[in-house]
Amino acid sequence: MSEHVYQLIELTGTSPDSIEAAVNSAVQKAARSTGGVRWVQVTEIRGNVIEDRIDHWQVSVKVGY
């Protein structure tokens, strides 16, 4: 069995559309910075509320590469 070692970064992605789009935003940013994302862990989900409605989602993630 081979052993793996990963580096880890934390990011917060945002999207007005969905939680999934916010996660993808963070993963795409990490991929541009690191060149090879291996996994993602959602650590926090927040919604920015304006006039009693979710204006956009904020999702914090840990990304391993």
In a domain, 14, yes or no: yes
CATH number at residue 13: 3.30.1660.10
Find the domain containing 31 and state its range: 8-60
Q: Which residues of the chain have pLDDT under 50?
A: none
In a domain, 1, yes or no: no
In a domain, 3, yes or no: no
Residues 6+ apart with CB under 8 A from 51: none
In a domain, 65, yes or no: no
Find the angle CA(58)-CA(34)-CA(41) to the nearest 5 degrees.
40
Q: Which of 61, 53, 47, 62 is nearest to 15 (CA)?
A: 47
Q: Please identify which residue in the block is written with the tokens 């999207």.
A: 15
What pTM, to 2 d.p., does this model score? 0.88
Q: How far apart are CA 27 and CA 47, in angstroms?
A: 19
The pLDDT assigned to 35 comes to: 84
In a domain, 22, yes or no: yes
In a domain, 45, yes or no: yes
In a domain, 2, yes or no: no
Q: How many domains does the chain have?
A: 1
